[in-house]
Amino acid sequence: MTLSLRIYSTAAADSPVKGLTTTAIWPTLHYMVNYSAQLDRTFAALVDPTRRAILARLEREDGASVSELARPFAIKLPAIMKHLDVLDDAGLITRSKVGRTVTVRLSPQPMRAAMDWLRRYERFWSRSLDRLAAYAERKEAEARKSGR
Protein backbone atom coordinates (compact mmCIF):
# COMPACT_ATOMS: atom_id res chain seq x y z
CA MET A 1 0.00 0.00 0.00
CA THR A 2 1.41 3.37 -0.98
CA LEU A 3 0.21 6.46 0.78
CA SER A 4 0.78 9.80 -0.80
CA LEU A 5 0.02 13.14 0.77
CA ARG A 6 0.15 16.44 -1.03
CA ILE A 7 -0.32 19.79 0.61
CA TYR A 8 -0.63 22.86 -1.53
CA SER A 9 0.29 26.28 -0.25
CA THR A 10 -1.95 29.25 -0.87
CA ALA A 11 0.72 31.75 0.17
CA ALA A 12 1.54 34.53 -2.25
CA ALA A 13 4.84 34.39 -4.13
CA ASP A 14 6.26 37.37 -2.18
CA SER A 15 5.04 36.01 1.17
CA PRO A 16 7.64 35.02 3.79
CA VAL A 17 5.76 31.70 4.07
CA LYS A 18 7.09 29.71 1.13
CA GLY A 19 4.99 26.61 1.62
CA LEU A 20 3.82 24.00 4.03
CA THR A 21 5.97 21.16 5.18
CA THR A 22 4.91 17.55 5.54
CA THR A 23 7.92 16.30 7.48
CA ALA A 24 6.22 16.60 10.88
CA ILE A 25 3.19 14.65 9.63
CA TRP A 26 4.96 11.50 8.45
CA PRO A 27 6.24 10.23 11.83
CA THR A 28 2.79 10.71 13.37
CA LEU A 29 1.03 9.10 10.42
CA HIS A 30 3.54 6.24 10.44
CA TYR A 31 2.92 5.67 14.17
CA MET A 32 -0.87 5.75 13.67
CA VAL A 33 -0.70 3.18 10.85
CA ASN A 34 1.53 0.86 12.90
CA TYR A 35 -0.60 1.32 16.01
CA SER A 36 -3.74 0.57 14.04
CA ALA A 37 -2.19 -2.51 12.44
CA GLN A 38 -1.16 -3.85 15.85
CA LEU A 39 -4.65 -3.22 17.25
CA ASP A 40 -6.17 -4.93 14.20
CA ARG A 41 -4.01 -8.01 14.79
CA THR A 42 -4.85 -8.04 18.50
CA PHE A 43 -8.61 -7.77 18.00
CA ALA A 44 -8.54 -10.26 15.11
CA ALA A 45 -6.74 -12.76 17.34
CA LEU A 46 -9.33 -12.25 20.09
CA VAL A 47 -12.26 -13.01 17.80
CA ASP A 48 -11.84 -16.78 18.02
CA PRO A 49 -13.07 -18.55 21.19
CA THR A 50 -10.28 -21.15 21.02
CA ARG A 51 -7.64 -18.42 21.05
CA ARG A 52 -9.41 -16.64 23.93
CA ALA A 53 -9.46 -19.93 25.87
CA ILE A 54 -5.73 -20.38 25.24
CA LEU A 55 -5.06 -16.85 26.51
CA ALA A 56 -7.26 -17.42 29.56
CA ARG A 57 -5.30 -20.55 30.40
CA LEU A 58 -1.99 -18.76 29.97
CA GLU A 59 -3.26 -15.97 32.20
CA ARG A 60 -3.88 -18.51 34.99
CA GLU A 61 -0.56 -20.33 34.48
CA ASP A 62 2.93 -18.93 34.02
CA GLY A 63 3.40 -21.00 30.87
CA ALA A 64 2.32 -24.22 29.24
CA SER A 65 3.65 -26.57 26.61
CA VAL A 66 1.91 -26.74 23.26
CA SER A 67 0.66 -30.26 24.00
CA GLU A 68 -0.74 -29.12 27.37
CA LEU A 69 -2.54 -26.26 25.67
CA ALA A 70 -3.96 -28.59 23.01
CA ARG A 71 -5.20 -31.25 25.45
CA PRO A 72 -8.64 -29.78 26.36
CA PHE A 73 -9.63 -29.01 22.77
CA ALA A 74 -11.35 -31.40 20.37
CA ILE A 75 -9.15 -30.27 17.49
CA LYS A 76 -5.89 -31.65 16.12
CA LEU A 77 -2.47 -30.33 17.10
CA PRO A 78 -1.86 -28.64 13.69
CA ALA A 79 -5.03 -26.56 14.25
CA ILE A 80 -3.75 -25.51 17.69
CA MET A 81 -0.44 -24.58 16.08
CA LYS A 82 -2.28 -22.32 13.62
CA HIS A 83 -4.10 -20.64 16.51
CA LEU A 84 -0.76 -20.15 18.27
CA ASP A 85 0.68 -18.63 15.08
CA VAL A 86 -2.14 -16.06 15.03
CA LEU A 87 -1.60 -15.25 18.72
CA ASP A 88 2.15 -15.00 18.13
CA ASP A 89 1.66 -12.73 15.12
CA ALA A 90 -0.49 -10.45 17.29
CA GLY A 91 2.27 -10.43 19.90
CA LEU A 92 -0.06 -11.91 22.54
CA ILE A 93 2.19 -14.89 23.28
CA THR A 94 5.87 -15.79 23.26
CA ARG A 95 7.28 -19.23 22.56
CA SER A 96 10.52 -20.70 23.82
CA LYS A 97 11.98 -24.09 23.02
CA VAL A 98 14.05 -26.25 25.34
CA GLY A 99 14.91 -29.56 23.77
CA ARG A 100 11.74 -30.81 22.10
CA THR A 101 9.35 -28.90 24.37
CA VAL A 102 7.91 -25.57 23.23
CA THR A 103 6.64 -23.47 26.12
CA VAL A 104 4.09 -20.75 25.47
CA ARG A 105 3.71 -17.70 27.71
CA LEU A 106 1.36 -14.76 27.73
CA SER A 107 2.74 -11.45 26.47
CA PRO A 108 0.45 -8.75 27.89
CA GLN A 109 1.65 -5.60 26.07
CA PRO A 110 -0.68 -5.82 23.03
CA MET A 111 -3.61 -6.48 25.36
CA ARG A 112 -2.69 -3.38 27.38
CA ALA A 113 -2.71 -1.32 24.19
CA ALA A 114 -6.14 -2.73 23.26
CA MET A 115 -7.47 -1.96 26.75
CA ASP A 116 -6.13 1.60 26.52
CA TRP A 117 -7.94 2.00 23.21
CA LEU A 118 -11.17 0.59 24.67
CA ARG A 119 -10.98 2.82 27.76
CA ARG A 120 -11.16 5.90 25.54
CA TYR A 121 -14.69 4.82 24.55
CA GLU A 122 -15.78 3.47 27.93
CA ARG A 123 -17.50 6.73 28.87
CA PHE A 124 -19.94 6.25 25.97
CA TRP A 125 -20.78 2.69 27.06
CA SER A 126 -21.07 3.68 30.72
CA ARG A 127 -23.61 6.39 29.97
CA SER A 128 -25.66 4.08 27.77
CA LEU A 129 -25.55 1.26 30.30
CA ASP A 130 -26.51 3.64 33.11
CA ARG A 131 -29.50 4.84 31.08
CA LEU A 132 -30.47 1.24 30.28
CA ALA A 133 -30.26 0.24 33.96
CA ALA A 134 -32.36 3.26 35.00
CA TYR A 135 -34.94 2.42 32.32
CA ALA A 136 -35.12 -1.23 33.42
CA GLU A 137 -35.49 -0.24 37.08
CA ARG A 138 -38.23 2.24 36.18
CA LYS A 139 -40.12 -0.37 34.16
CA GLU A 140 -39.75 -2.94 36.94
CA ALA A 141 -41.09 -0.46 39.53
CA GLU A 142 -44.03 0.37 37.24
CA ALA A 143 -44.78 -3.33 36.79
CA ARG A 144 -44.74 -3.90 40.56
CA LYS A 145 -47.10 -0.96 41.14
CA SER A 146 -49.57 -2.18 38.55
CA GLY A 147 -49.45 -5.73 39.96
CA ARG A 148 -48.02 -7.41 36.85
Q: Which of 40-49, 106-115, 116-125 has the lowest mean pLDDT?
A: 116-125
* Dihedral sign for Cα atoms in the order 63, 69, 71, 76: negative
pLDDT in tens, 17-32: 555 444 455 454 444 4
pLDDT in tens, 29-78: 444 445 588 899 999 999 999 999 999 999 999 899 999 999 999 999 99
In this predicted structure, the answer to whether residue 116 has a pLDDT above a threshold of 60 is yes
Structural domains of the chain in order of their starting residue, each with its CATH number = 25-122 (1.10.10.10)
Phi-psi category of residue 16: left, alpha or beta, with phi > 0 → left and psi -120 to 50 → alpha? alpha
